[in-house]
Amino acid sequence: MHGHIMAKRPRLSPVNVVKRYRWALEHRNWTAKEWRQVIWSDESKIELLQSPSRRICWRPRGERFSPQYVAPTVKWNGGNLMIWGCFSMSGTGNLARVEGIMDSRVYQDILADNLPASITKLSGRRPWIFQQDNDPKHVSKSTVEFMAARKWTAMEWPPQSPDLNPIEHLWWLLKKRIRMNQRPADISQLWTACESEWRAISVEMCELLVASMPERVRDVIA
């Protein structure tokens, strides 16, 4: 046996395990045709100064704190912004900046301003289904009524299941692209960088992520 850093994952109660399993069973026969209909959504926090949890360098003995071998840090990573986005197998949809604290009202405003245009871009006249997690603002009574009034259909989603939402990988890619291609100096420039790099994500990448859904479902069942 060897020492390793413990893997992290959301804590699953026995009830959540059963819900995830049942959801996977219900979707185990879905093909690319069904998954193509899904518009995936989520929120993510983007930090102005992104820094990997670990950075490795090669240095001589006694040079640990020499400037060229030090990764500078800033308290609160220089600030951050919260964004909402969506995508499907057809590409990325709208990206929205969240102003202030995101409650049900703010969430509904974001959907009203961004989801219709995203549907037109990603689905056209084809049937579609909207994916969101079980965050309280997503499933509050007012949000449910808001979506019902517009006849928007939301996919039933199992609790504690970020591993089943391919947009999580898209957030990782967005942050990586910003770190590699952009040098934002403030939050305003960071938002501009987010918009630019979000639009630059290829349709092929979106197709690849959604195409992984059958394997994700099989893994949950296994």
Question: What single letter denotes the amino acid at residue 190?
Answer: L
95 vs 179: which has the higher pLDDT: 95
Q: What is the mean pLDDT of residues 135-144?
A: 97
Integer Cα distance of 174 and 24 in angstroms? 28
Q: Which of 27-41, 57-71, 158-172 has the lowest mean pLDDT?
A: 57-71
Q: What is the mean pLDDT of residues 92-114?
A: 96
pTM for this entry: 0.85
The rounded percent of the chain whose pLDDT value lies above 70 is: 94
Integer Cα distance of 84 and 94 in angstroms? 8
User: Please, what is the Cα angle at 149 between 143 and 153, to 5 degrees?
Assistant: 75
86, HSE (Cβ side, Cα atoms, 13 Å): 26
**pLDDT above 80 (res 49):** no
User: Given pLDDT bands bounded at 50, 70 and 90, which one contains residue 39?
Assistant: very high
pLDDT of res. 8? 80
Question: What single letter denotes the amino acid at residue 144?
Answer: V
User: Given pLDDT bands bounded at 50, 70 and 90, which one contains residue 148?
Assistant: very high
**pLDDT above 80 (res 102):** yes
Integer Cα distance of 147 and 127 in angstroms? 16
Residue 53 neighbours by CB distance under 10 Å: 4
Q: What is the mean pLDDT of residues 85-108?
A: 96
pLDDT of res. 50? 60
Q: What is the mean pLDDT of residues 176-185?
A: 90
**pLDDT above 60 (res 52):** no
The rounded percent of the chain whose pLDDT value lies above 90 is: 74
77 vs 128: which has the higher pLDDT: 128
Q: What is the mean pLDDT of residues 148-164?
A: 95
Tokens found for residue 183: 């040098």
Sort 158 into a burial class: Cβ within 10 Å, 0-12 / 13-18 / 19+.
buried
**pLDDT above 70 (res 162):** yes
CA 221 to chain centre: 23
Tokens found for residue 126: 């084809």
pLDDT of res. 74? 56
**pLDDT above 90 (res 201):** yes
What is the 3-class SS of 134-178, one letter each residue? Answer: CCHHHHCHHHHHHHHHCCCCECCCCCCCHHHCCHHHHHHHHHHHH
Residue matched to tokens 């009202």? 105
Q: What is the mean pLDDT of residues 80-105?
A: 96
Q: Are the CB atoms for 11 and 160 separated by under 8 Å?
A: yes
